[in-house]
Structure 1
Amino acid sequence: MNDSGGAALPPSTAQHKRLGQLDDLRAIAITLVVVMHGYAAFFSRPSEMLNPLLIFIYAGGTGVTLFFILSGYLVSMPFILAGREGRSYSTLEHFKQRALRILPTYYFYVFISCLVVGSFEKFIPALLFLVSGNELSIYSNVWWSLATEVQFYLLVPLLFALKKRVLLVCGVVWALLYFYCAHFLIPGNIRDYAWITTSLLFKAPAFFVGAVIALIVVSGRLRVTSGMARLGLFVVFFALLTLLLQDKAVNDRPGYAAVRPFDIIPEALLWGCVFFLFLQNSSTVFGVCGHFLAKISFSLYLVHYPIVFIGVVVAKSHGAVGSWERYAAFVATLLLSIILAWVSFKLVEEPFLRLKNRARAPRDGLVRRVLP
């Protein structure tokens, strides 16, 4: 959408204009995740937090929620556009595009991780997205979110094939199952059932919010054309997000989502509002920097955690205990992560992205402008 009034833009034009805004959102998401892992590794977590910047740094895992909203928006968009044109979007095309997007880079990192660890015992399970946490030392820590993404990819074609009444029944069943797990099953046995909180069952609200935004955008029925109105709404939603994330910033630990299982719902809704406001901008906010970070975001997501961990070990071994020394080590790990992510993007990711775009069906050309 643009700032001017009048009729909504044609879908192809509107989608093209939103590419930069999506890059802004990817840049925000990856920055939150990477900075959180790095900063929390080098600096102790305060017992209380009032500084909004520190809140978003220590609660940077919320960037994953934003990534899930992006996936919900982007992956559902071809199905929504196809339905608007009275046709169906090929399930085979969907799986082909998603596979070319994530599998080559992810499999490359799985292979390298097993090679570095010196054991291929987890190689096959990892290829099937069954390895996460510290199962493959420091290298698999962030892989859980990819498993959740894949669960969503597998489910999307089925959801769009269902009748509305059946879809409604599925929604009710999901809500009941979610409430049962969150209120009864998990609290009494967090250690055994914490994995449920990282599954699609618990992260579904974020993907759903992204899909709803895609529906709203395609319909063209809701726009915020005033720049001042957008700014005011952004301040409100940012303040609400800050309040929501304050407890997470102080207490976020492995298993935190099991302690606060319902937080994902308001978190996804607030990020969804911010997401929608970004799409209303007529230009990007972060420009070239945002585009660069968005471009390497997948590789950066996969490579940064081991680099941060190794950076902490090296810094401590060299006696980096002073504040400025830790800041220098923190910045160095971020820069090294970005450099390695760029190399990974150029050598591994980009060639398959080109293949992915060439393999896209001709009639889906307008979707090509927005899907990563």
Structure 2
Amino acid sequence: MSDASDVRAGLRQPASYLPELESLRGWAILLVVGFHYFGILGLAERSDNPMWMTLLGGGNTGVTLFFVLSGFLLSRPFLQGLRDGQQVSIQRFYTARFFRIVPLYYAAVLLAWVMTQKTVTFKALLFIPIGFQAFPFSVPWWSLCTEIQFYLVLPWVMWLLRFAAGRWLVAAALLAWGVAHVWLFHSPGWLAPTNFWENSLFGRFGAFLAGAACAGFSLSRSYAWLRERALVCFLLLIGCLLGLGRLWLWFSLSGERNALQALPMYHNIESLLWGGAMLGLLALSWRIKALLANPLLDHFGRISYSLYLIHVPVQFYCLFPLKAAGMTLEANADAYLMRIAFSLLLSWGLAWLSYRLVELPFLRLKAHLATYSRRAPWARRAADA
């Protein structure tokens, strides 16, 4: 849910634009949509699901992929600036983030208040997680709260990296986070509902860190060496995707809470696999990668933010009346299939309209406030010396 989708319809395309990442964002949103169908239809309660349907039970990995992409795309300009002696404007970074995230999110929150009449909805305007209190609208909002926490931290971490003392401070903070993260996630009862930090930046920082580490590697000579070896890139991509598929299957068969209880580092592992798949896809030059990066997926990536906020309410209002009437999936498969198809098309259409009418005007404004870099004072002094 970040910058690669800002390059259409008159928007300025950055020199570092990587089209494969737009398609990865398309995969991310499709996985999330499939995961929510899996939940709403109660497929986790069935033992006779075909393999492809069972895999949907691990589709919440799409959120992890969004986090990895954010870590990669947003840290890369800062890391490139550190390498080249350029300084990214923190003010323009925050301005760009505001126009990218806030207008559509606020529109979704206000719509949720109109539909539910729950005043707790206004709490979400401050990016405070409210869980399911404005169901079904608030289901995906938690991840945006986590994204905002990352936005607040990232520029200042990158600013500290410009100084020797700052690098030591960042290293100490990462070590402290790693120790606390592992300790808390292996403590008894860490999945209790009161442990809000599970889905906060503290709990999900591994995904952003994996993306940032991949961004740093993509700027290195080692990655240039990797790009010249197509077979190695292909094996990296396929190996990571197979690992992800196996992980999703186990996650779905175990159930979310049981899986996380058995493997507390689950989200960190899938983050590393997504990072490897991303690097392999970016480096691969073979045409076969068109199966994973193509115009259709690019389209879904472009409208992914709108689709992310829209699809759960559409799914719920289309499918819940059937469940409320006591119609089971087994006995009324045709009716459910028609509702699923209709809800998919409706979500798609509404997301496209939302992108064109709400997102795009602010993206055009954002394009004029891009995070241009300038020569950093410390780099100028070094050059003068």
2:336 is aligned, of 290, 313, 326, to 326
Partner of 2:143: 145
1:342 paired to 2:349: no
Q: Do the aligned partners of 1:132 and 1:142 also contact (CA within 8 Å) in 2?
A: no
Unmatched 5+ stretches in structure 1: 1-11, 365-372
Q: Do the aligned partners of 1:315 and 1:329 also contact (CA within 8 Å) in 2?
A: no
Kindly tell me the number of residue pairs found equivalent between the two proteins.
348
Deviation at 1:119, TM superposition (A): 3.4
Partner of 1:274: 277
Partner of 1:136: 134
Deviations 1:251-293 (A, max 9, x none): 3346964664211121111111111111113475442211210
Deviations 1:13-41 (A, max 9, x none): 9834x2x2011110110000001112332
Partner of 1:61: 60
1:251 paired to 2:254: yes
Deviations 1:96-131 (A, max 9, x none): 1111110001011011111111233431x1111113
Q: Do the aligned partners of 1:46 and 1:250 also contact (CA within 8 Å) in 2?
A: no
Partner of 2:115: 116
Partner of 1:356: 366
Q: Do the aligned partners of 1:52 and 1:242 also contact (CA within 8 Å) in 2?
A: no
Partner of 2:100: 101
Q: How does 1:62-81 map to 2 (within 5 A)?
A: 62-81=61-80
Deviation at 1:192, TM superposition (A): 4.2
| Partner secondary structure for residue 135 of structure 1 | coil
Partner of 2:216: 215
Partner of 1:9: none
Range with bigger deviation, 208-217 or 241-250: 241-250
Q: Distance in 2 between matches of 1:169 and 1:363?
A: 28
The 3 A distance-change label for structure 1 pair 169 and 52 is farther
Q: Distance in 1 between matches of 2:252 and 2:112?
A: 30
Deviation at 1:148, TM superposition (A): 0.6
Q: Distance in 2 between matches of 1:190 and 1:131?
A: 17
| Partner secondary structure for residue 88 of structure 1 | strand
Partner of 1:315: 322
Q: Distance in 2 between matches of 1:50 and 1:312?
A: 19
Q: Do the aligned partners of 1:69 and 1:272 also contact (CA within 8 Å) in 2?
A: yes
1:202 paired to 2:212: no
Deviation at 1:133, TM superposition (A): 1.8
Q: How does 1:30-45 map to 2 (within 5 A)?
A: 30-45=29-44
The 3 A distance-change label for structure 1 pair 253 and 362 is closer
Deviation at 1:56, TM superposition (A): 3.0
TM-score (norm 2): 0.83
2:155 is aligned, of 145, 157, 169, to 157
The 3 A distance-change label for structure 1 pair 342 and 227 is same
Q: Do the aligned partners of 1:37 and 1:305 also contact (CA within 8 Å) in 2?
A: yes
The 3 A distance-change label for structure 1 pair 347 and 254 is farther
Q: Distance in 1 between matches of 2:185 and 2:220?
A: 34
Aligned CA-pair RMSD: 2.5
The letter for the 2-side match of 1:58 is G
Q: Do the aligned partners of 2:112 and 2:121 also contact (CA within 8 Å) in 1?
A: no
Deviation at 1:331, TM superposition (A): 2.0
The letter for the 2-side match of 1:171 is L
Identity percentage over the alignment? 30
The letter for the 1-side match of 2:367 is N
The letter for the 2-side match of 1:45 is A
The letter for the 1-side match of 2:319 is V
Partner of 1:288: 295
The letter for the 1-side match of 2:113 is C
The 3 A distance-change label for structure 1 pair 127 and 307 is same
